Amino acid sequence: MSRYSRIIGWGMYVPERVLTNEELSRMVDTSDEWIRTRTGIRERRIVNGPSETTATLAERAARAALDKAGLPATALDMIIVSTSSPEHLFPATACIVQDALGATRAGAYDLSAACSGFVYALAMAHGLIVSEQADTVMVIGAETLSRLVNWQDRNTCVLFGDGAGAIILQASETPGGVLATVLGSDGSGAHLLSLPAGGSRKPPSFETLRNGDHYIHMDGKAVFRFATRVMAEATREVVEKAGLTLDDIALIIPHQANIRIIETSVVRQLHFPWERVFVNLDRYGNTSTASIPIALTEAVEAGRLQPGDYAVLVGFGAGLTWAAALIQWGPEVPEVTWWQRLWWHVLWYRWSRLRSLYRRVRRRVFAFYFRGREQVEQWRFTSPPSPDGKEKQGEE
């Protein structure tokens, strides 16, 4: 019997701090009119203080998705976090989210494919489910790119915002869900959009800090040309792969990078009606890998997707990478009682924090205990030095 992967939960979270174009114009040589006409962005959300990080945004979006699906975190088999702004090079941000959710049965890993990453992660989750390696997988796209941009560079700082979006895929015998995916890359353009320093090639140094190599670097014109070509090609390919036509598609949800890219690649090249394209770029800016799940969540909540509708999720990003997925909407959302919701989505998270604290304390106690035991054993098995200066080994 065939297995399908269907979306049963969705959620998003964006920081409360709003940064408008007018505020940016007081920070860098730009204006509201200049930003809107070239990008379509009016404002973006920015993390406020050290307490908000990629992991905390991801956790909030994940909670919303679990709440929508009516599932406890213990139902998850895998958590995949797509991000270009992880908490650390390692450990994976997904592991931090797994601990915060109390998803005790879930494996966790990060995926890095820049702005295409969410669709890449969706394809990986779909593969795990149809190959029967997992039944329930959470996919999260989360970014805090405001901490990676140079706020004196108007070509990049006006573009990016922070946020997170999440979905839950679950195995089903009912046809639908993820029907086709297309993934691609062209590493010859890796230098066109990058964060040069911070990895093993350019570890942090005075020179990298002085040169601004820890900020996002982008060749905007080259990326624009690449994006407008590949977005249209990937959309056509995934629709054909699913055995459909563009007339069958109820909604295209593109990566929210630039309004002119969306207009050129989706509307003009595909001759696709603008009213069947979902855009929220004006309110959030480019949230990279989080942009598609945030847009998907808002599209569903706004009634833009109905059961049985076909939708295309398509993006591009650094790498260079591109990705598209065709889904048939029709979530199978179970009924959840009030007491289940109270336990799973309120009390459970508090219990998870206590459980995490307990495990940390226990690990420290064990480390202290065994360190003391090691010192005792070393003393017992090492006799005092002999008159000739040599130690004698062995227990008396």
Average pLDDT over every residue of 296-310: 97
Query: Which one of the listed residues 126, 217, 255, 345 is annotated catalytic?
Result: 255
Last residue of one domain, picked from the residues 312, 328, 344: 328
Could you tell me if 268 and 344 lie in one domain?
A: no
What's the pLDDT at 21?
A: 98
Could you tell me if 136 and 282 lie in one domain?
A: yes
Could you tell me if 371 and 305 lie in one domain?
A: no
What's the pLDDT at 386?
A: 56
Please give the single-letter amino acid code of residue 329: W
Distance CA 113, CA 317 (A): 7
Tokens of 280: 């929220």
Distance CA 86, CA 193 (A): 17
Peptide linkage before 347 cis (omega within 30 of 0): no
**Is 126 a known active-site residue?**
no
**Poorest-pLDDT segment among 22-26, 40-44, 196-200, 357-361:** 357-361
E-state strands within the chain: 4-13, 18-20, 43-45, 78-82, 107-111, 136-144, 162-172, 177-185, 193-194, 217-218, 249-254, 310-317, 321-328
What are the DSSP calls for 85-147, one per residue? Answer: S-S-SSS-HHHHHHHHHT-TT-EEEEE--GGGHHHHHHHHHHHHHHTTS-SEEEEEEEEEGGG
Could you tell me if 306 and 379 lie in one domain?
A: no
Print the domain residue range for 123.
Answer: 4-328
Q: Is the dihedral of CA 185, 186, 192, 194 positive or negative?
A: positive
Could you tell me if 140 and 264 lie in one domain?
A: yes
147: left (phi over 0), alpha (psi -120 to 50) or beta: alpha
**Is 286 a known active-site residue?**
yes
Could you tell me if 302 and 357 lie in one domain?
A: no
Last residue of one domain, picked from the residues 280, 302, 328: 328
3-state secondary structure of 319: coil
Could you tell me if 185 and 296 lie in one domain?
A: yes
Could you tell me if 324 and 339 lie in one domain?
A: no
Could you tell me if 185 and 210 lie in one domain?
A: yes
Average pLDDT over every residue of 26-44: 96
- pTM (2 d.p.): 0.91
Query: Which tens digit of pLDDT belongs to each residue from 126-159?
Result: 999 999 999 999 999 999 999 999 999 999 999 9
Query: Which tens digit of pLDDT belongs to each residue from 258-293?
Result: 999 999 999 999 999 999 999 999 999 999 999 999
Average pLDDT over every residue of 306-327: 98
Distance CA 370, CA 107 (A): 28
Please give the single-letter amino acid code of residue 247: D
**Is 255 a known active-site residue?**
yes
Could you tell me if 303 and 219 lie in one domain?
A: yes
Query: Which one of the listed residues 115, 126, 157, 345 is annotated catalytic?
Result: 115
HSE (side-chain half, CA atoms, 13 Å) at 306 = 2
Alpha helices in 242-330 (DSSP H): 259-262, 281-284, 291-301
Q: Indicate if the pLDDT at residue 338 is higher than 80.
A: no
CATH code: domain of residue 112: 3.40.47.10
Q: What percent of the chain has pLDDT over 90?
A: 82
Query: Which tens digit of pLDDT belongs to each residue from 198-242?
Result: 999 999 999 999 999 999 999 999 999 999 999 999 999 999 999
Task: Tell me the pLDDT band of 371, cut-offs 50, 70 and 90.
Answer: confident
**Strands 310-317 and 249-254, how do they pair?**
parallel
Could you tell me if 394 and 322 lie in one domain?
A: no
Distance CA 183, CA 171 (A): 22
> Please, what is the Cα angle at 301 between 300 and 304, to 5 degrees?
45
Distance CA 290, CA 298 (A): 12
Last residue of one domain, picked from the residues 328, 354, 372: 328
Number of structural domains (the chain) is: 2
3-state secondary structure of 396: coil
Query: Which tens digit of pLDDT belongs to each residue from 62-103?
Result: 999 999 998 999 999 999 999 999 999 999 999 999 999 999
Could you tell me if 343 and 319 lie in one domain?
A: no
Q: What is the DSSP letter of 149?
A: S
